[in-house]
């Protein structure tokens, strides 16, 4: 059977003529061709009439247009291949219309089918570069009209390569195809232009990446500000909750005192009844308390001891009671600092807010030393369950008090003269 195509031994593509094989070799540097009895596919779209030469082109056309019906006209268009090479073309005529592929004139319009392959922006374009040239030359889609240079075609193609109809065959007026409209660039010049377009596309991509990086940085800054604002609102809400808890505690204490007063009044009335005394008249004047004895006032005002001073006294007493064993005192201070630091860093962890008094390590380092447990109680710890545990309730965790305790412990550890005087 006579050969119907040429097969590239390097990539396996089927070519219809020697001219196509030469164009393929120039575009890909492949040089291993052999005659094949397999015809080049000619699958025509039933919806728009676009011919596709491979299943890959069919898939791409279906993806872009949604057309799924194709008619196989491979054997209708197949004809024996002519292995006689055509004479070389002069410079400036590297692109030409394949006579077998050119559509017949349909009134005023023809379908431009090209065989030249051009590498544009990293993509191997087949025939479309010259179609875009005609599109640019005819003034379609904002083209200049009459500008019949391949440079204009390449520029137009780089700007419209993402158009959904980029792979559709081009219809142009038949009277516009003249000898004057042939490309004027050689293949080498076309490759240089393609390299320039690739460089332009690379720079555009870098600019887009820099712009996206700036946008991401702005988004990170915005998220950071939102997190800081959310943290501030959370702290405000926590502070308001603590204030409300203290108010409720005071009201509860006031109610408890009122109940105790009423109970005392009832007990007093019961005792008077048992003794046979008349009930006390609430309107009767009560004996006034004896005037207080005036004490000699000191010249200096009496200031109540602050919690920090009481903590300092506990630590001073602990060191003075064990002044002969500096290592023991320092270990006790370090243990207390660890307890306070764990609660300050993890106030929601109950294991850091609960200390078993019978623990041997705790008793050896803190519990048996005078002032150790008192210091923890000043920090908010309370004895629970028959004095078995020291426990700090979550709602009684006061970071200001814990920070003060930590400062006093650091001072006691680092100051060599602490507790000496």
Q: What is the pLDDT of residue 206?
A: 94
User: Taking the mean position of all CA atoms in its chain, how far away is CA 111?
Assistant: 50
Distance CA 93, CA 148 (A): 13
User: How much is the pTM?
Assistant: 0.31
Q: What is the pLDDT of residues 201-210, one digit of tens each?
A: 999 999 999 9
Q: How far apart are the first and last CA of the chain?
A: 118
Q: Are strands 117-120 and 170-173 parallel, antiparallel or unpaired?
A: unpaired
Q: How many H helices and E strands in the chain?
A: 11, 13
User: Taking the mean position of all CA atoms in its chain, how far away is CA 406?
Assistant: 38
Q: What is the pLDDT of residue 91?
A: 40
Distance CA 110, CA 108 (A): 7
Model confidence band, residue 42 (pLDDT cutoffs 50, 70, 90): confident
Q: What is the pLDDT of residue 214?
A: 94
Q: Which residues contact 299 (CB under 8 A, 6 or more apart)?
A: none
Q: What is the pLDDT of residues 95-154, one digit of tens each?
A: 443 433 333 444 344 333 333 444 444 444 444 444 444 444 444 444 444 444 555 666
Burial class (CB in 10 A: 0-12, 13-18, 19+), 239: exposed
Compute the mean pLDDT over every residue in the chain, rounded to the nearest whole number.
75
Say yes or no to pLDDT of 290 above 50: yes
Pick from 357, 387, 385: which is nearest to 372 by CA?
357
Say yes or no to pLDDT of 163 above 80: no
Say yes or no to pLDDT of 372 above 50: yes
Q: Are strands 382-384 and 389-391 parallel, antiparallel or unpaired?
A: antiparallel
Tokens of 29: 């540097």
Distance CA 52, CA 36 (A): 19
Burial class (CB in 10 A: 0-12, 13-18, 19+), 230: exposed
Distance CA 3, CA 115 (A): 20
Q: What is the DSSP string of 25-48?
A: HHHH----EEEESSPPP-EEETTT
Q: What is the pLDDT of residues 376-406, one digit of tens each?
A: 888 888 888 777 888 888 888 888 888 888 8
Say yes or no to pLDDT of 362 above 70: yes
Q: What is the DSSP string of 203-248?
A: HHHHHHHHHHHHHHHHHHHHHHHHHHHHHHHHHHHHHHHHHHHHHH
Q: What is the pLDDT of residues 197-242, one digit of tens each?
A: 889 999 999 999 999 999 999 999 999 999 999 999 999 999 999 9
Q: Could you give the dihedral angle defined by the CA atoms of residues 142, 144, 148 and 154, in that order, rounded to the nearest 10 degrees? A: -50
Are 5 and 79 a contacting pair, CB within 8 Å?
Answer: no
Are 40 and 15 a contacting pair, CB within 8 Å?
Answer: yes
Distance CA 31, CA 13 (A): 12
Distance CA 88, CA 224 (A): 67
What's the DSSP call for residue 22?
H
Q: What is the pLDDT of residue 118?
A: 43
Distance CA 258, CA 252 (A): 10
């Amino acid at each position: 059977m006579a050969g119907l195509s040429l097969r590239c031994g390097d990539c396996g593509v089927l070519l219809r003529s020697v001219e196509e094989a030469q164009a393929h070799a120039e575009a890909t540097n492949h040089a291993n061709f052999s005659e094949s009895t397999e015809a080049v596919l000619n699958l025509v779209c039933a919806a728009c009439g676009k011919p596709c030469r491979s299943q890959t082109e069919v898939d791409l056309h279906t993806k872009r247009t949604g057309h799924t019906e194709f008619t196989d006209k491979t054997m209708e268009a197949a004809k024996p291949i002519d292995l006689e090479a055509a004479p070389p073309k002069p410079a400036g005529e590297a692109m030409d219309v394949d006579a077998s592929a050119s559509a017949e004139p349909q009134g005023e319009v023809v379908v431009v089918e090209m065989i030249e392959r051009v590498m544009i922006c990293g993509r191997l374009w087949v025939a479309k570069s010259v179609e875009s040239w005609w599109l640019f030359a005819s003034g379609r889609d904002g083209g200049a009209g009459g500008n019949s240079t391949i440079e204009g075609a390449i520029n137009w193609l780089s700007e419209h390569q993402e158009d959904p109809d980029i792979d559709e065959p081009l219809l142009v007026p038949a009277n516009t195809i003249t000898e004057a409209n042939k490309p004027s660039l050689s293949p080498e010049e076309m490759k240089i232009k393609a390299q320039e377009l690739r460089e332009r596309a690379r720079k555009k991509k870098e600019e887009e990446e820099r712009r996206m990086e700036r946008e991401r940085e702005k988004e990170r800054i915005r998220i950071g500000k939102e997190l800081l604002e959310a943290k501030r609102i959370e702290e405000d809400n926590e502070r308001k909750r603590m204030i409300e808890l203290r108010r409720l505690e005071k009201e509860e204490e006031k109610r408890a005192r009122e109940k105790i007063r009423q109970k005392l009044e009832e007990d007093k009335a019961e005792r008077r009844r048992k003794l046979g005394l008349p009930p006390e008249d609430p309107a009767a004047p009560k004996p006034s308390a004896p005037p207080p004895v005036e004490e000699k006032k000191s010249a200096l005002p009496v200031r109540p001891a602050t919690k920090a001073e009481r903590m300092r006294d506990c630590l001073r007493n602990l060191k003075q009671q064990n002044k002969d064993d500096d290592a023991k005192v320092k270990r006790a201070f370090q243990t207390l600092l660890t307890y306070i630091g764990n609660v300050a860093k993890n106030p929601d962890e109950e294991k850091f807010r609960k200390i078993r008094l019978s623990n041997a390590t705790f008793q050896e380092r803190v519990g048996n030393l005078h002032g150790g447990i008192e210091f923890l109680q000043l920090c908010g710890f309370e004895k629970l369950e028959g004095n078995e545990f020291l426990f700090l309730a979550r709602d009684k965790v006061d970071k200001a008090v814990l920070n003060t305790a930590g400062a006093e412990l650091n001072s006691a550890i680092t100051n060599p003269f602490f507790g000496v005087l």
